[in-house]
């Protein structure tokens, strides 16, 4: 199979390396030569600077869209029209404009689109989903995610002020950059009905986007929750808590361990000497590290391209996550809660 990668920053390089690790060597690079990483590993691969020429000349089976967010659709729409399957990095875009054009192009040519929300492949988040769906937690009542990163240290090889995450014109901002929870919370709990948000730029970081957001969520199931994301936390942290009538789940991305606390008594019961919760822990496989999420995603994409599997995170999943992110901006602007469109 032949692949074209558009965007050779950190995430594009990761896709490049993982394709090679999985035995795929027929790779074309679409370059602007604005990437800040070393060039050595790219030597020997075909390089193009014009998308239409690259599609016409190389006829790739699939295109990986890893350029800045605001430019995603400039690559994805022509690729879909050319009949290429697509791995589209998150968020799918910075606005809803032209996403319908991409959808129609995909339907017309019959191509499949996988959106790059790699946490869908985390074994412990999938274990959490399994426990929730089995009824182990009873009725899910609340869910909270806290994710703080320190932007200057995130990509230490480049000036954070020039990164896409820091620049509004490239589709940056902490809500859309750290948008993974907006997908995996839907994956775990279900659709979001409405939300409210406070967000803005409150730290000394030199960015022209919001660097913090508090988002309150109401799910269609009736569960309530919250998401906190920021660009200024040292040390970084990423954790999740889910509370149900019969138990609680705690997950921390630092060690990947999922803790399940199961109550031995029924909800609503009372005891002067309540028994302790039954605690069970679930750990990722030995040697598990972050890139394995991306490898699993790439392996799944190869199956999608070969027609062996349907995308587990399709375009509509990406659109829904973007709708939630945009609703958070709307809530900040209006000072009111925002209801999600069905």
Q: What pLDDT shows up at residue 342?
A: 66
Q: What pLDDT shows up at residue 268?
A: 81
- Over the stretch 92-108, which tens digit does the pLDDT of each residue have? 999 999 999 999 999 99
CA distance 13 to 37: 9
- Over the stretch 229-274, which tens digit does the pLDDT of each residue have? 999 999 999 999 999 999 999 999 999 999 999 988 888 888 888 8
Question: Where do you find CATH 3.30.360.10 in the chain?
Answer: 120-289+321-339
CA distance 178 to 325: 10
For residue 26, give both structure tokens. 């027929």
Q: What pLDDT shows up at residue 274?
A: 82
Q: For residues 27 and 16, is the Cβ–Cβ distance under 8 A?
A: yes
pLDDT at 139 over 90: yes
Cis ω before 172 (30° cut-off from 0): no
Cis ω before 235 (30° cut-off from 0): yes
CA distance 224 to 216: 8
Closest CA to 190 of 139, 231, 154: 139
CATH of 3-111, one of 3.40.50.720, 3.40.190.10, 3.40.50.10710, 1.10.1330.10: 3.40.50.720
Lowest average pLDDT, out of 10-14, 87-91, 138-142, goes to 10-14
CA distance 208 to 211: 9
CA distance 165 to 175: 10
3-state secondary structure of 257: coil
Question: Where do you find CATH 3.40.50.720 in the chain?
Answer: 3-111
For residue 299, give both structure tokens. 């392996």
Q: Residues, the chain, total?
A: 342
Q: What pLDDT shows up at residue 35?
A: 59
Q: What pLDDT shows up at residue 246?
A: 95
CA distance 154 to 46: 29
Q: Which fold has domain 120-289+321-339?
A: Dihydrodipicolinate Reductase; domain 2 (3.30.360)
Q: For residues 312 and 120, is the Cβ–Cβ distance under 8 A?
A: yes
Q: What pLDDT shows up at residue 34?
A: 62
- Mean pLDDT of the region 263-289: 90
Q: What pLDDT shows up at residue 266?
A: 86
Q: What pLDDT shows up at residue 37?
A: 59
E strands in the chain: 3-6, 27-30, 46-48, 62-65, 85-89, 113-116, 140-150, 192-200, 212-219, 224-230, 232-244, 247-252, 258-262, 278-282, 338-339
Q: For residues 63 and 51, is the Cβ–Cβ distance under 8 A?
A: no
Q: What percent of the chain has pLDDT over 70?
A: 98
pLDDT at 228 over 90: yes
pLDDT at 130 over 80: yes
CA distance 2 to 59: 8
- Over the stretch 6-60, which tens digit does the pLDDT of each residue have? 999 889 999 999 999 999 999 999 987 665 556 777 888 999 999 999 999 999 9
Q: What pLDDT shows up at residue 232?
A: 98
- Mean pLDDT of the region 274-284: 93
- Over the stretch 170-186, which tens digit does the pLDDT of each residue have? 999 999 999 999 999 99
Q: For residues 296 and 121, is the Cβ–Cβ distance under 8 A?
A: yes
The overall average pLDDT reported for the chain is 95
CA distance 312 to 317: 9
For residue 292, give both structure tokens. 């394995």
């Amino acid at each position: 199979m032949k692949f074209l990668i558009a965007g050779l920053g950190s995430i594009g390089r990761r896709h490049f390396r993982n394709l090679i690790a999985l035995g795929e060597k027929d790779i074309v690079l679409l370059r602007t030569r604005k990437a800040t990483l070393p060039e050595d590993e790219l030597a020997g691969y075909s390089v193009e600077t014009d998308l239409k020429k690259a599609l016409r000349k190389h006829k790739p089976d699939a295109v990986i869209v890893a350029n800045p967010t605001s430019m995603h659709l400039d690559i994805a729409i022509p690729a879909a029209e050319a009949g290429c399957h697509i791995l589209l990095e998150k968020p799918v875009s910075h606005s809803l404009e032209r996403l319908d054009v991409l959808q129609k192009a995909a339907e017309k040519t019959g191509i499949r689109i996988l959106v790059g929300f790699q946490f869908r492949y985390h074994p412990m988040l999938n274990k959490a989903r399994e426990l929730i769906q089995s009824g182990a937690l009873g009725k899910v009542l609340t869910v909270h995610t806290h994710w703080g990163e320190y932007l200057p240290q995130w990509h230490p090889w480049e000036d954070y002020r020039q990164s896409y995450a820091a620049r509004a014109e490239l589709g940056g901002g902490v809500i859309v950059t750290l948008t993974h929870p907006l997908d995996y919370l839907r994956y775990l709990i279900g659709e979001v009905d409405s939300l409210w948000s406070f967000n803005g730029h409150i730290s000394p970081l030199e960015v022209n986007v919001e660097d913090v957001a508090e988002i309150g969520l109401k799910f269609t199931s009736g569960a309530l929750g919250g998401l906190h994301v920021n660009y200024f936390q040292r040390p970084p942290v990423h954790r999740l808590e889910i509370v149900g009538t019969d138990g609680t789940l705690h997950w921390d991305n630092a060690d990947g361990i999922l803790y399940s606390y199961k109550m031995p008594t029924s909800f609503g019961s009372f005891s002067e000497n309540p028994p302790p919760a039954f605690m069970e822990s679930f750990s990722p496989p030995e040697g598990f590290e972050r890139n394995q999420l991306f490898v699993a995603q790439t392996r799944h994409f190869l199956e999608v391209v070969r027609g062996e599997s349907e995308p587990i995170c399709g375009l509509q999943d990406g659109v829904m996550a973007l709708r939630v992110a945009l609703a958070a901006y709307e809530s900040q602007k209006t000072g009111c809660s925002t209801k999600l469109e069905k």
